[in-house]
Amino acid sequence: MDYIEKDNNFDLPVIAFYECDRLWISKGNIDIESSALKQFSRFDPYLDCFHTGADDKAIGEWLLKLELSELQKKTPSPMKTAIEFAAKAAMENCVGFGFDFDESRVMVRYEDGTSTPFEHLSDGQRTILGLFCDIARRAAILNPHLQENICSETKGVILIDELDLHLHPKWQRRVIEDLRKIFPKMQFICTTHSTFLIQSLRSSSELILMDGEPLLEYNNKGIEEIARNMGVSSPEVSQLYEDMKNTAHDFLATLDNENLSPEEFHERFNAQLASVIAPYSNNPAYQAFLERKYAIKTGKEL
């Protein structure tokens, strides 16, 4: 262990499993004095590699240490550069990601000169930024000798449960390619139910299993076609619309097929008409259409 710790040419792989509860939630302020004295081992990223992304305190303490190192040495830290490189790829208009001594917390800086505390970002922003930066942090701690090539040269295996978690659809469409671009030598094994992620695959050979369905060519297919192959009926319309259409269709079929007198029909199906209309009472056109069809059949205006 000591040999590896001190060997500047020994590469260590990133191994990490990001669970569904990976959304980072701030757990108190960072103590600047204790964080400055904290020592990091190259093996630290393995201590929690199977339960990652629980909070932002660890990365805050590490960034603080890097900021102090830069101030002391008066030279940019390649490890901090790796984090910022990942942050810029994760978020549009992001130009910096680091510890702010005035704020005593991690801040995200933007092109327009503004900055936002990490914990004030939306769930989607914190999820995507936290994921990219945490992978970069682990790579940097494991392989500081790679310098400016930390992200591009570090190898590893990353497991991510529900990669699309909290992500806006436009981020879902690009997250896979962004991970490839920033960490080209890492292998990512992810689960998802997102048609946008499946669509963004380069080839269906990258898709291991899809709810037990046989593998098809999903890349570059339309969202609706992918959803249909995933078992979603009529993905081009909402489930509410589909239910309303089917309910109306069944009731109209009853109107056409029952050979009863108008009085008998009214006595038997008046209550059914009310139950058919009730779930969609906020749609007056639907209600008026069925009531009109019913009136034609029974001669009774409602």
User: DSSP letter string over 256-298?
Assistant: HH----HHHHHHHHHHHHHHHHGGGTT-HHHHHHHHHHHHHHH
pLDDT for 250: 87
Judged against a pLDDT cut of 90, whether residue 225 lies above it is answered with no
State the pLDDT at residue 54: 46
Examine the pLDDT at 301 and tell me if it is beyond 60: yes
Residue ranges and CATH numbers for the domains of the chain are 2-192 (3.40.50), 239-298 (no CATH)
Instruction: Give the least confident one: 40-54, 95-109, 130-144.
Output: 40-54
- pLDDT, tens digit (0-9, with 9 covering 90-100), for 114-145: 999 888 888 888 888 888 988 998 999 899 88
The answer on pLDDT for 174 being more than 50 is yes
User: Which has the minimum average pLDDT: 78-82, 127-131, 153-157, 227-231?
Assistant: 227-231
Looking at residues 7-13, what average pLDDT do you find? 80
Say which DSSP state 35 is in.
Answer: H
Lowest-confidence region among 7-21, 61-75, 200-214? 200-214
pLDDT of res. 156: 96
Write out pLDDT tens, residues 283-298: 888 888 888 887 887 7
Higher pLDDT, 200 or 51: 200
pLDDT of residue 166: 87
Across 61-75, 225-239, 251-265, the highest mean pLDDT is recorded for 61-75
CB 69 within 8 A of CB 119: no
**Number of other residues whose CB lies within 10 A of the CB of residue 269:** 19
CA atoms within 13 A on the CB side of 212: 1
Name the DSSP letter for residue 116: E
Strand ranges, E, within the chain: 14-18, 94-100, 105-110, 115-117, 156-160, 186-190
Report which of residues 186 and 20 the model is more confident about.
186
Q: Among 71-85, 149-163, 259-273, name the one with the lowest average pLDDT.
A: 259-273
Task: Give the pLDDT band of residue 52 (cuts 50, 70, 90).
Answer: low
The whole-angstrom separation of Cα 95 and Cα 84 is: 8
The pLDDT value recorded for residue 155 is 96
Q: State the pLDDT confidence band at 3, using cuts at 50, 70 and 90.
A: low
**Distance (Å, whole) CA 165 – CA 229:** 21
